[in-house]
Structure 1
Amino acid sequence: MKYIVKSVEETMAIGIKLGSLCNAGDIICLTGDLGTGKTHMTKGIAQGIGVKDHITSPTFTIVNEYHSGRLKLYHFDVYRVNDPDEIYAIGFDEYIFSDGVSIIEWSNYIEELIPEEHISINIEKLNDMGESYRAITINGYGQRYDYIKEIAI
């Protein structure tokens, strides 16, 4: 599914809807250049899950945990991960195969570690006559993610 959005609010609305549909054990992989809105998408998903905490990018800590929603949320930022062993050292498998929702920013950096069943979200910047837009493409891999068809804004 592909969406064209014109604002942060529209990006977050997609995230909120997705978060409201998430189930325990879901894995969401985010890709896109710097500044495309990956963290805003994560904030929306967190809001849809019911997380009350302030969401920040875990750029230097690799993972932030949130326990205030209907599901636990594990927010990864693997931009600075240089070696897959580094991500294993923090217990990556224990997070993504748990009963929480795992969101992985820059997942393309560790794609060999991503399970076959996951949601992939790519965000691209588009410019049209001075206007700035985002193209958000969402794909679900595995039957458990058929619910993404219900996302509409």
Structure 2
Amino acid sequence: MSDLTRPSDSCYLSTSPFVTQELGVLLGRCVREGDLVILTGDLGAGKTNLTQGVARALGVSEPVTSPTFNILAIHEGDDLTLYHFDLYRLEDVDQLGDAGVLDIAGVEGVSLVEWGEPFAPLLGDDRLEVAISRVGQGAGEPARQIQVTGCGERGRALAQAWDKAVADALSS
């Protein structure tokens, strides 16, 4: 993973979609039943790339795409189910309940929620927040900065486990 750097704890710099997916694989090796991950970033930032890596680590065999119009895609892994939410089209809290988000997110399987930042406090106090942003300019696709914040005891533990996995991968 020579195209990945770790400028500081819980902050990563990815230079390609492949590297972002590999970061997702490392995260996928750390998650457990009931984990909730909120993914933040502009359109095309890499939220779905990260999710694809998590899915690969969980043993999901089918293609993973953003469920923008369906709001939820359910992917069966080897041991855990991945609930992949995309809340881009939701405008208010009532729609969370109508879509079943509050019944599943942070309770069953592993939940990755794209565009979940406006609803994060409602989804759970224990969560991992992952903010992906474009950095740099020039020829080609800009790099991505991935900033990780653990909220609550469980979210902090997941952030630490992922950070250790990244540090170990970079040192090997």
Q: Calculate the TM-score normalised by the size of structure 2.
A: 0.83
Structure 2: which 5+ residue stretches go unaligned?
1-9
The farther-off stretch of 73-82 and 91-100 is 91-100
Alpha carbon RMSD of aligned pairs, Å? 1.5
Aligned to 1:84: 93
Say if 1:140 and 1:148, in contact at 8 Å, map to a contact too: no
Aligned to 1:136: 146
- Report the CA distance between 1:31 and its aligned residue: 0.2
4+ residue runs over 4 A deviation: none
Aligned to 1:19: 28
- Report the CA distance between 1:97 and its aligned residue: 4.1
Give deviations 1:8-28, integer Å, cap 9, x for gaps.
Answer: 111011100000111000000
SS in 1 for 2:61: coil
The farther-off stretch of 89-98 and 72-81 is 89-98
Aligned to 1:147: 161
Say if 1:26 and 1:118, in contact at 8 Å, map to a contact too: yes
Distance 1:68 1:112 in 2: 27
Distance 1:56 1:128 in 2: 27
Say if 1:53 and 1:68, in contact at 8 Å, map to a contact too: no
Aligned to 2:115: 106
The farther-off stretch of 5-14 and 134-143 is 134-143
Q: Calculate the TM-score normalised by the size of structure 1.
A: 0.92
Structure 1: which 5+ residue stretches go unaligned?
none
The farther-off stretch of 19-28 and 130-139 is 130-139
**Corresponding letter in the other structure for 1:108:** E
Give deviations 1:16-70, integer Å, cap 9, x for gaps.
Answer: 0000111000000000111110110110111111111110111011111111332
Distance 2:121 2:148 in 1: 19
How many pairs are equivalent?
Answer: 153
**Corresponding letter in the other structure for 2:46:** G
Aligned to 1:6: 15
The farther-off stretch of 125-134 and 70-79 is 125-134
SS in 1 for 2:29: helix
